[in-house]
Structure 1
Amino acid sequence: MQHGPAVRRRKLGAELRALRTRAGLTSGEAAALVGWHQSKVSRIETGASGVKPADVRLLLDAYRVNDPDLRELLLVLAGSEESGRHHWWHAYRGVLPPTYRDFISLESQATAMRTLETTVVPGLLQTPEYARAVTRAAVEGLDEERLDALVEVRLARQDVLRAEPPLELHAVLDEAVLHREVGGPEVMARQRERLAEAARLPQVRLQVLPFSAGAHIGVTGPFVIFSFSSTSDLDVVVLDHLTSSLYLEGREDLGAYSEGFSTLQFHALSPEDSLDYIAGMNDGV
């Protein structure tokens, strides 16, 4: 179990090692190609030390990696800030904790996201009013300026659903999420309308886990699984806590959470029935 920066170093190093092996090079040969000592390549591959984006480019060139998506993803993991589209959040460095920036960077590069929410609507599907109410409740003592900035970030994150290609979002919502009156009845009614709109998008699969499902594996808390098309070795599970986030990268962890999510989907209402349920709640308002 690691925090975000350590996970990114380890995942980046593991992928660079795999690419070197695929290129038929030893670590010593790779080091010679880029003019380094062999120990530097080893430290990068084990995640023992960080690596600059410029150094990643040298290695990718030496390994003849031409896939632009893979190169971009690995450069993001190295902390590259060249792409304005992928790094808009750096304008908010003063208000975003590092773990939140790590989360957004992974979200911006992922091709798919699976999320279980047990208390609130996922950030990618929140209305401005709902996002404001949630943020105000979650972070005590916020002044209006910082609150405005955090809500702006929450809404800007939603651009991944409108990107080309868009992020594929699979969300399971505990029924409690729909009943908890965040911001009051009017805010909730509009939020449920937003969920119904999102559920009709081809890139969104939204399911409601009803109270009748009883106890389930999600009672331990919400989680997110990010997946990447370039390589499954970069997939990661994110667990949110009050003051930080934890990132799980092991194959056993990924397998357990993936299996758990599939179980939740099985016990949840179908996407069609979920949409009807959400629409019915507003009809009854």
Structure 2
Amino acid sequence: MGNGPVVRRRKLGEELRTLRHSSGLTSQQAASLLGWHQSKVSRIETGASGVSPADVGRLLDAYAVDDPELRTLLSALAGSADGRDTGWWHAYRGVIPPQYRDFIALEAQAETARTLETSVVPGLLQTADYARSVTESALDGIPGAHLDALVEVRLARQSVLRCDAPLRLTAVLDEAVLRREVGGRRVMRAQLDHLVAMTELPHVQIQLVPFSAGGYVGLTGPFVIFSFPTTSALDVVVLDHLTRSHYLERKEDLEAYGSAFRTMRGRALSPERSRDLITAIRREARP
């Protein structure tokens, strides 16, 4: 699958293998039904090679899978038949690296996202000015046109929160995220106002870990857990580093990060008290 990270290719293969087992077919029998060589089925299932949405559909027909949600999800994960991105982010191929496009594709396909941020406001909750300041600081010396394009991408990503079936986002933020004056006081005031407004959305929950909570699991680095409709077998943890993103797919990793996130939510303020703290910090940021 040329348009997705290796983790998606492996996840897709694992899910197809599980469905084949459930159907009672061997890989040889599945290949014979489709007129393929058995090695093609094996390469797809191990993630060694990609698979087009059309071939995913043929496999699901062979396995008598008629769940429309599952069929749609697996076809989307497969990508387009010619191996190229077809999402809006395809227009920015010359601006954003493949790993960032992979991340955006996962975000667009996910049903829920659970994120921890210890330094900056999550991208889905950033204002344009805040996004510009963060990007400019992270990529020192970036040309203006490139900076403009990256900010456009950041804001376009936020469409997942405004569509008919929006992403359900739960964000746990360290209090330091709100205290750091990214872009200066004016930019930060507008960003805090925006966070308060985002708490009004029923599919967005923001919880703050106050300084008074002391140390806590997750303090050493941010992460995102993407979960997908129909099957948890496709869930993935993404760790962001300066030059690349790292994808964790093992069941043990998913359980560990899921448990850590639940623990952090328990240490954090409730959504209501978090909103009060955001409002209080906003008042302190008066000119």
TM-score bracket relative to the smaller structure: over 0.9
Normalising by structure 1, report the TM-score. 0.94
CA deviation after TM superposition for structure 1 residue 86, in Å: 7.1
How far apart, in 2, do the equivalents of 1:212 and 1:152 lie? 36
How far apart, in 2, do the equivalents of 1:127 and 1:14 lie? 38
Runs of 4+ in 1 over 3 A off after TM superposition: none
Show the counterpart of 1:77.
77
How far apart, in 2, do the equivalents of 1:233 and 1:276 lie? 37
> 1:131-150, aligned counterparts within 5 Å?
131-150=131-150
How far apart, in 2, do the equivalents of 1:201 and 1:110 lie? 18
SS of equivalent to 1:39: helix
Show the counterpart of 1:66.
66
AA of the residue aligned to 1:202? P
Show the counterpart of 1:213.
213
How far apart, in 1, do the equivalents of 2:220 and 2:251 lie? 20
Long gaps (5+) in structure 1: none
Long gaps (5+) in structure 2: none
How far apart, in 1, do the equivalents of 2:41 and 2:71 lie? 18
SS of equivalent to 1:226: strand
AA of the residue aligned to 2:171? A
SS of equivalent to 2:49: coil
The size of the alignment, in residue pairs, is 280
Q: Is the contact between residue 7 and residue 247 of structure 2 (CA under 8 Å) also seen in structure 1?
A: yes
1:12-43 per-residue CA deviation (whole Å, 9 max, x = no partner) reads 10011111122222111110111111111011
Show the counterpart of 2:178.
178
> 1:146-161, aligned counterparts within 5 Å?
146-161=146-161
CA deviation after TM superposition for structure 1 residue 91, in Å: 0.8
Q: Is the contact between residue 172 and residue 264 of structure 1 (CA under 8 Å) also seen in structure 2?
A: yes
How far apart, in 2, do the equivalents of 1:205 and 1:86 lie? 30
> 1:119-268, aligned counterparts within 5 Å?
119-268=119-268
Residues 97 and 195 of structure 1, relative CA distance in 2, 3 Å threshold: same
CA deviation after TM superposition for structure 1 residue 75, in Å: 2.3
C-alpha root-mean-square deviation of aligned residues, in Å?
A: 1.6
AA of the residue aligned to 1:126? Q
1:251-277 per-residue CA deviation (whole Å, 9 max, x = no partner) reads 110111011001111111110000011
Normalising by structure 2, report the TM-score. 0.93
SS of equivalent to 2:5: helix
Show the counterpart of 2:29.
29
Q: Is the contact between residue 115 and residue 224 of structure 2 (CA under 8 Å) also seen in structure 1?
A: yes
How far apart, in 2, do the equivalents of 1:139 and 1:69 lie? 39
SS of equivalent to 1:225: strand
How far apart, in 1, do the equivalents of 2:209 and 2:121 lie? 13
**Percent of aligned pairs with the same amino acid:** 65
Q: Is the contact between residue 236 and residue 248 of structure 1 (CA under 8 Å) also seen in structure 2?
A: yes
Q: Is the contact between residue 81 and residue 87 of structure 1 (CA under 8 Å) also seen in structure 2?
A: no
How far apart, in 2, do the equivalents of 1:264 and 1:229 lie? 24
How far apart, in 1, do the equivalents of 2:199 and 2:77 lie? 31
More displaced stretch, 123-132 vs 39-48: 39-48
CA deviation after TM superposition for structure 1 residue 145, in Å: 1.4
1:190-219 per-residue CA deviation (whole Å, 9 max, x = no partner) reads 000110011121101100101111111112
